[in-house]
Amino acid sequence: MLTVKNLSVNYVDLKVVNNLNLTLADDEILMLVGPTGCGKTSILKALAGLVPISEGEINLGNWRATPKNQIPPEKRNLGMVFQDFALFPHLSVEQNIGFRLKNYEPVNRWIERLGLGALRDKKPNTLSGGQKQRVALARTLAHQPSFILLDEPLSNLDAALKDDLRWEIRQALKAAGVPAIWVTHDQEEALSVGDRIGILRDGKLEQLDTPENCYSQPVNRFVARFLGEASFLPGRLASDLTVSTIIGDTKAFPINGAEHEVDVLLRPDDLKLRADQTGKCEVVWARYEGSARLYAVKTEDGQILKVRSRHENRVAPGQKVNLNISTTHPLAAFQR
């Protein structure tokens, strides 16, 4: 089990990681997300021992790193998958994967599992991006680390490759049964592969929870906006947790004890839209997305809400529509 307590990292006098606390179960995948410059990569480097920590401790059972006792990376028994893959250009795929191994059994096993058999003797510069990523992953896993760090492993790959590869990596990590911390700036990636996700801003962890909870019950508006399209609709919260808004009533989940005047978090698919000549709302713009359409709809008091609707439901900008809240789960409500 990995435990991080009150971890801080300073670069000269800039605090890039601020008082981080987390624990990781034995085969759990934790996704760390945040905008550029939020300290994601610094956390990984601190965990790997590539930058010194200034406060707190990192504990992995058989070692414990503190500001006074900075353990060098090679003593930490961890694995790291780098953004630019960091394959050794002078070594073959097989030699890369077995870099420090005498026993080649795990090398062969991971080559087999990740489908790299045909590339065994190739040099890294002849491989495609996806192949390089598989080799980097195989190298990390074959060395049997007791936990794994992944630094934006998919950011250098084509969009088409990302979907498949992210599942392949998740399956491999689960098969190896090691805890992993995976850093990304892609919220979709974070929501889909993580067991838990942590959202970072300016070196601080804003929320650490399951993807479902982070998405539907974000602790603040920053997290709400970062994880996906978010609209905020004013409403009045009653004591029975019903909130009444201009487009109807719904159940609410107050965040941080919000009461009375609140803003309800609406995701585009929490709403339903129907073309109606007598409707009180009006479509401002429509965006075709293939399987769906995204609309911006103006309510009668001028609020703009984003609504996602089936692709056959075609409404032109300027048309009048009726809008209602279709979701059945309680909606997050923030103090206005």
Partner 1 sequence: MTRWPRSYPFALIIALIALIPVAVLATLATDSADMFDSRNLQVLNNTLLLMLLTAFGSIVIGVPLAILTTYVYLPWRRFWVVLLAAPLALPSYLGAFTFYAAFGPGGELETISGITTPRFNGLIGTAIVMALYTYPFVLLTTRASLASLDAGQVNAARTLGLSLFRSIILVVLPRIKNGIAAGSLLAALYALSDFGTPAIMNFDTFTRVIYVEYNAFGLSQAAMLSLQLMVIVGLVLILESRVKGTQEQPGRHLMLWPGKWQLGLMLASTLPVVLMAIFLPLTIFFLWLWRDGSGNFEITYAWNSAHASILAAIFAVVVALPVAYAAIQGKAGRIMERITYIGFGVPGIVMGTALVYVGLKLPFLYQTLGLLVLAYVLRFLPLAVGTIRSTSEGIDSSLVNAARVLGASPNEAFKRVTLPLTMRGLVAGAALVFLEAMRELPATLLLGPTGFETLATYLWRVYEAGYFGMAAVPGLLLILISGLGLALMFSGEKWNELKQL
Site for partner 1, rule CB under 8 A: 48-50, 72-74, 76-80, 82-84, 86-90, 99-100, 139-140, 143, 149
Q: How far is CA 255 from the centre of its chain?
A: 21
Q: Find where tokens 């087999």 sit.
A: 112
Instruction: Report the candidate in 13, 75, 19 with the shortest Cα–Cα distance to residue 50.
Output: 75
* Nearer CB in complex with partner 1: 76/306: 76
Shortest CB 123 distance to partner 1, Å: 13
- Contacts for 151-154: CB closer than 8 Å, 24+ residues apart: 151/41, 151/44, 151/80, 151/81, 151/82, 151/83, 151/183, 152/41, 152/83, 152/183, 152/184, 152/185, 153/81, 153/82, 153/83, 153/182, 154/184, 154/186, 154/189
Shortest CB 86 distance to partner 1, Å: 4
* Nearer CB in complex with partner 1: 47/165: 47
Shortest CB 135 distance to partner 1, Å: 12
- List, as one string, the DSSP characters of 169-223: HHHHHHHHT--EEEEES-HHHHHHH-SEEEEEETTEEEEEE-HHHHHHS-SSHHH
* Nearer CB in complex with partner 1: 116/208: 116
* Nearer CB in complex with partner 1: 76/308: 76
61's CB contacts (< 8 A; 6+ apart) are 1, 146
* Nearer CB in complex with partner 1: 81/197: 81
Instruction: Report the candidate in 29, 68, 84, 73 with the shortest Cα–Cα distance to residue 48.
Output: 73
* Nearer CB in complex with partner 1: 40/139: 139
In the chain, alpha helices (H): 40-48, 93-97, 105-113, 129-142, 159-176, 187-193, 211-216, 221-226
* Nearer CB in complex with partner 1: 12/160: 12
